[in-house]
Amino acid sequence: MIEPTELQSYAGRPAAAGGRAPDPVNAPMIRHWCEAMGDANPAYAGPDAIAPPAMLQVWTMAGLSGHGSRSGAYDELLGRLDADGYASVVATDCEQEYLAPLRPGQRVLFESEIETVSPEKTTALGTGHFVTTRTELRAYDEAAGEKPEEARPVATHRFRILKFRPAAGEQPPRRSAEPGAGQSARQPTGQPKRGHGTGLRPRPVVNRDNEGFWQGVAEGELRFQRCTDCATPRFPWLPGCNACGSDAWSAEAASGEGTVYSQVVVHHPLPAAFAAPYSVALVELAEGVRVVSNVVGLAPDQVRIGLPVRLSLERCDDELTLPLFRPAGPDHLPVLRIPVTRTLIVAGAIATRDYQDVHHDAELARAKGAPDVFMNILTSNGLVGRYVTDWAGSGATILRIALRLGVPAYPGDELTFTGRVVDRVPGRSDPGAGGDGRTELTLAVVGSTARGAHVTAEVRLLADPSGGPA
């Protein structure tokens, strides 16, 4: 067994010394990456193109040939963990700060050190050690004849992996993957626990009094009734009018705008289909009726009475879609839904030069305990970058992306991105000090599948206060 003190001794030792990106920053790799991510930001094309910031790690990937710039210390550490049975590996966190944009023609140099090795931790995936590396990247303009000695700092990159021994036990059903434990070729093992979103939500009982409501949901609408005698709207669906007793009515589609009228956060008891804590809200629709539902896309403890919300038909599983609500308003980014196809996963892996078999070979992924291939962390990072600049516009400058992975994203999933502005500092980069007076925004972004959060990210960016979202 490797001793804890011995593990600690690896902290501060190099993980990659004298690293040099195999290719200069170049337009074809940028274009392939943008195509794979579906990122149409014009800032990444044309004569003044910059490289997408979220593409940072791609430049230093060794690709199909292996780990060209790794140090003896890093390989030795991973080897010792392997030998102790911590043979599986997952990427769990990625934190990038962008000091200057990269442009085609620049060559990236990097130095990486082992920052920390955690004591043994038990996670949903199994028991293991988190290994964090910190990389400093510099670049020089090779195309303009600059020398490596002239390289200037462009970014820092912190990356955390979990080297772990998979938990023993039977393979649970696919839906028991829990958030917060990283992406893995291994599913969390052992008995599915209650109250962690491990089961299916209850099925609705459809009868002749409410079938019009469920028909509406199937057609993408939230329908309420209106009495055709006294015009009183009503919800939930009932055979007669509470106001006048008439049984004549018509159905109308709600606009989807509403506000939280009352709400509770459920912590306990924990029904199997729900991941606690979660918000149960009474939403007052613009049309005047109130609907019991869930507010999603916001931490439950941040749901407040009076919060503006918007209807969102959410796919809970393969058979069930429910009318839920998401925060509305200027501080909330529009929802982006991305179908996770096999093509997206493989194209993302190749465009990020990640040839780990679990991202392209379903048979090998299954041999490692996953139900199928799954999305790599560099693609998740790229999609976060795309989501925020789709909203903030091509004039925005991303300063930092810090993300944590939760449940894996498999073919057939749908990734639903939501985001909101959590902090806004005007004139952060002072024009007098060489800045341009734009507003610095901090965004909280979540990309979820039907099984929970796949990626949780904090993004800092500069945006123009005179236009767009800022």
Identify which of residues 251 and 322 has a Cβ nearer to Zn ion in the complex: 251
Give the residue among 225, 206, 229, 242 at the shortest CA–CA distance from 285: 225
The DSSP code for 78 is H
Distance, CA of 247 to CA of 242 (rounded, Å) = 10
- In one-letter notation, the amino acid at residue 115 is E
Minimum CB distance to Zn ion, residue 244 (Å): 3
Distance, CA of 252 to CA of 222 (rounded, Å) = 8
Minimum CB distance to Zn ion, residue 250 (Å): 11
Minimum CB distance to Zn ion, residue 258 (Å): 22
The residues of the shown chain that bind Zn ion, judged by CB under 5 A, are 227, 229-230, 232, 241, 243-244, 246
Minimum CB distance to Zn ion, residue 419 (Å): 42
Helix, strand, or coil (residue 44): helix
Identify which of residues 110 and 249 has a Cβ nearer to Zn ion in the complex: 249
Distance, CA of 346 to CA of 357 (rounded, Å) = 10
Minimum CB distance to Zn ion, residue 225 (Å): 10
Identify which of residues 125 and 227 has a Cβ nearer to Zn ion in the complex: 227
Our measurement of the distance from residue 197's CA atom to the centroid of its chain's CA atoms, rounded to an integer in Å, reads 18
Helices (H), 116-155: none
**Residue 288, both tokens:** 């005047």
Distance, CA of 405 to CA of 446 (rounded, Å) = 10
* Integer-rounded Cα radius of gyration of the chain: 25
Helices (H), 9-85: 27-37, 56-60, 72-83
Q: Which residues on adjacent β-strands are paired with residue 251?
A: 225
Identify which of residues 233 and 393 has a Cβ nearer to Zn ion in the complex: 233
Minimum CB distance to Zn ion, residue 93 (Å): 57
Identify which of residues 241 and 270 has a Cβ nearer to Zn ion in the complex: 241
Minimum CB distance to Zn ion, residue 209 (Å): 16
Element spanning 281, H or E: strand 278-285
Q: Could you identify the residue written with the tokens 């892996």? A: 349
Identify which of residues 287 and 414 has a Cβ nearer to Zn ion in the complex: 287
Minimum CB distance to Zn ion, residue 255 (Å): 22
Minimum CB distance to Zn ion, residue 227 (Å): 3
In this structure, are residues 116 and 172 in contact, taking their beta carbons and an 8 Å threshold? no
Distance, CA of 251 to CA of 36 (rounded, Å) = 43
Helices (H), 233-352: 342-351
Task: State the helix-helix crossing angle for 27-37 and 342-351, rounded to 10 degrees.
Answer: 160
Residues 6+ apart with CB under 8 A from 262: 281, 282, 305
Residue 382 has a CB neighbour count (10 Å cut-off) of 28
Identify which of residues 226 and 310 has a Cβ nearer to Zn ion in the complex: 226
Identify which of residues 83 and 244 has a Cβ nearer to Zn ion in the complex: 244
Q: Which residues on adjacent β-strands are paired with residue 260?
A: 283
Identify which of residues 252 and 331 has a Cβ nearer to Zn ion in the complex: 252
Q: 453 to each of 21, 197, 383, how far by Cα in Å? A: 32, 11, 14
Identify which of residues 229 and 361 has a Cβ nearer to Zn ion in the complex: 229
| Burial class for 378, CB neighbours closer than 10 Å (0-12, 13-18, 19+) | buried
Minimum CB distance to Zn ion, residue 243 (Å): 4
Identify which of residues 164 and 249 has a Cβ nearer to Zn ion in the complex: 249
Identify which of residues 136 and 229 has a Cβ nearer to Zn ion in the complex: 229
| Burial class for 208, CB neighbours closer than 10 Å (0-12, 13-18, 19+) | exposed
Beta strands in 332-395 (DSSP E): 332-339
Minimum CB distance to Zn ion, residue 425 (Å): 53
Minimum CB distance to Zn ion, residue 247 (Å): 9
